[in-house]
Chains A and B, each alone.
Chain A
Amino acid sequence: MKREEFYHRLSDVPPVPDSLYSRIEKKIRRNRTVTSLMLALAASLIITVGITSYTIYQTNEQISSSSRVSSEEIIDELQTLNEFVNGNSLDDEMEMYTLVNANYF
């Protein structure tokens, strides 16, 4: 074999097998199906998590609104507490009772 012939023979290879493309296409289709399934699964998971979170949030809202104390009540309570702590309330009451008793007797 001559040197030139060697380089010529390098390109002398058997033809590409006929079945090769069908195998490639089969793998591509399988990969596409798997990808679609994964995406569908991920989407349903996201939707499920979203719906569940919303439902939980709504339930919590309902519970808290039913047990919620109005701000006016809180202000009244705080006012009463403030007067009691500072002693204003006690003095006023003592005074009021003294006056009532004086008139009575």
Chain B
Amino acid sequence: MKELDEITIKLAAKGKLQAFRKVYDHYSNFVWKVVYRTVNGDEDSAQLIMQNVFIKVYNDLKSFKFHSSFSTWLYRITYNETMAYLKKLRRRQKKECPFVETINKSRENDPLENKEMVSAILHTLSAADRFLLIAREVNNIPFEDLADITGKSSGALRTMLHRIKESIRKGFDYETGRVLSQAV
């Protein structure tokens, strides 16, 4: 993705809210896509995570030294905040996502609409797998950057992504829109 100019980022690091607004406008869609899909379409959770991410970005911008691209740094914060949020949620509710129930009920018999189908497929994956899938397939983050973000080797991530795609292929009938098995 095209990075925002360094001057704006440095101004935002100095606490200038106008510059920070530009940072938000430039990167919010990028963050939103991965967060929204990782929480599997739970908009309230996605909004809370977005808030946490951008507040952390504002507070920690001073520590950003331009050793990596800004989007990689932002992605690392997004990954950590998303996983921390879901962990907290899991601990509190003893299940991963509250929005899963409706999908489970609806997908038992009837073929799903395309929109529901995407959610149902994503539901079969863990949050970390969803994050990896969106990061690669939607936001086109390089494996090397993802390795830096997640702390795993890029080889391991390639294998993980392959496994995720395989499980999606085996677990879902794209033509009829029916779940064949509980993948992953």
Interface residues of A (CB under 8 A from B): 1-3, 5-7, 9-17, 20-21, 23-25, 27-28, 31-32
Contacts and interface: CB of A to CB of B under 8 A. Distances in A.
Interface residues of B, number: 33
Given A1-B117, A27-B55, A10 B174 contact: no
Contacts of A6: 117-118, 121, 168, 174
B169 interface: yes
Contact of A10 (B24, B28, B133): B133
Nearest to B134: A10
Contacts, number: 66
B36 A2 contact: no
A3 B165 CA distance: 10
Given A13-B36, A16-B32, A17-B47, A24 B118 contact: no
Contacts of B138: 10-11
B29 A3 contact: no
B51 interface: yes
B50 interface: yes
- The majority secondary structure among interface residues of chain B is helix
B174 A31 contact: no
17 contacts: A1-B114, A1-B174, A1-B175, A7-B137, A10-B37, A10-B137, A10-B138, A12-B118, A13-B36, A16-B50, A21-B28, A23-B51, A24-B50, A24-B58, A27-B51, A28-B17, A32-B15
Contact of B58 (A2, A5, A9, A28): A28
Given A1-B117, A21-B21, 5 more contacts: A6-B118, A10-B134, A16-B29, A20-B28, A24-B58
Contact of A20 (B17, B51, B133, B134): B51
Contacts of B51: 20, 23-24, 27
Contact of B50 (A12, A15, A20, A32): A20
Contacts of B168: 6
A14 B36 contact: yes
B17 A1 contact: no
